Amino acid sequence: MKHSIGAVIVAWNSASEIADCIAAVHKAGVTDIVVVDNNSSDETSLIVKDHSHVKLLSFSENYGFSGGVNRGVAALTTDFVLILNPDCRVQGGLADMATAANEGAAGGMLLAPNGKLQTGFAVRSLPTPAALIFETIGLNRLFPNNPVNRRYRCLDLDPNLPQEIEQPPAAFFMVRREVFLKLGGMDEDFWPVWFEDVDFCARLRSASYRIYYCPTARAIHDGGTSVKKIFWSFKELAWYGSLLRYATKHFGWLSRFLVGLAVAAASVPKAFMGIIDRRPGVRPFGVYTRVLRLVWMSLVTGRVDLRRVSRQLEGPDQF
């Protein structure tokens, strides 16, 4: 049975990558392509307009990755939607990926530009409180082979075998459009980026759908090209804020408290280091005091509102 596949590419200042991404997914057999431009300040939209077969949705504000995906999916009518990062170049296997996604969703094999598997990123388990605590306080970076990290990053997974998994990244992710809409799409409160795909996979599995890994579906992924363009201050705030939102949404109060405590433990010394390290344009103390506000919001109000906190950042720290 042949499946109709559409692609959604959410772009933000992606002028250097978007043309190659479009060309690769089109060559792989996808003709219904939507590019969502989240208020880029570069020539992303102009480059997309040169591709007459691509539908461009260009916005004057940044809806974040979740908001971009939701608007892109709404513009398609295909059976399946391939969600792609603009720094991803599909190599093939999309028909197999659609078959694998028939029970819900599927991920594929992500390769670095040097051809090596992006182990620890292409497939992950849904994060436990311990995984987020270890991630926050740096234990996973210092001791990557610890058992919590091995499970979280699926370091023992055989990448050549198709299998059921918990969480592929939205950099290269296929989902049945009907299922996506039934679940209400991605949560736009994960803004502008991080943990929106984790949350979606958690909700998908909670609704008794399945996610499969399809090793014959492959893409080359540069990794983090748009994220690298976000100012450091906002990047820190957004990462901690999205992590705390995920914990608030999916964990009980005690687990949220422990995750929040880990975030505070990581933030306090960084904030005081900011007093000593007074580099021009970098204000760590202000950033981490706002992170502590997010911890307080998580524990006291049960809601993490990154937009409200981020509005208080000034100048180049704004997104």
- pLDDT for res 318: 45
pLDDT-derived band at 234 (thresholds 50, 70, 90) equals: confident
**Angle at CA 141, nearest 5°, toward 140 and 145?**
55
pLDDT surpassing 70 at residue 316: no
Cβ 72 vs Cβ 45: under 8 Å: no
Written as six digits, the tokens of 144 are: 């990557």
Cβ 156 vs Cβ 144: under 8 Å: no
pLDDT, tens digit (0-9, with 9 covering 90-100), for 52-70: 999 999 999 999 999 999 9
| Separation of alpha carbons 99 and 171, rounded Å | 19
- Considering the chain, what is the average pLDDT of its residues? 92
Cβ 37 vs Cβ 59: under 8 Å: yes
- pLDDT for res 245: 95
Mean pLDDT, to the nearest integer, of 181-199? 96
Percent of the chain with pLDDT over 90: 79
Of 128, 319, 107, residue with least CA distance to 210: 107
- pLDDT for res 314: 47
Mean pLDDT, to the nearest integer, of 74-89? 98
Q: Supply the DSSP symbol for 117.
A: B
| Separation of alpha carbons 59 and 188, rounded Å | 15
Integer CA distances (angstroms), 307 to 60, 189, 260, in order: 17, 8, 19
pLDDT surpassing 70 at residue 311: no
Mean pLDDT, to the nearest integer, of 127-144? 96
Stretch among 28-42, 134-148, 215-229 having the lowest mean pLDDT:
215-229
Mean pLDDT, to the nearest integer, of 257-266? 96
Residue 134: φ, ψ to 5° = -60, -40
pLDDT surpassing 80 at residue 116: yes
- pLDDT for res 278: 54
- pLDDT for res 317: 42
Cβ 6 vs Cβ 72: under 8 Å: no
Q: Supply the DSSP symbol for 298.
A: I
pLDDT-derived band at 246 (thresholds 50, 70, 90) equals: very high
- pLDDT for res 277: 56
| Separation of alpha carbons 164 and 161, rounded Å | 10
Mean pLDDT, to the nearest integer, of 196-210? 98
pLDDT-derived band at 1 (thresholds 50, 70, 90) equals: low
Domains with residue ranges and CATH for the chain: 5-123+159-221 (3.90.550.10), 231-311 (no CATH)
pLDDT surpassing 50 at residue 208: yes
- pLDDT for res 279: 53
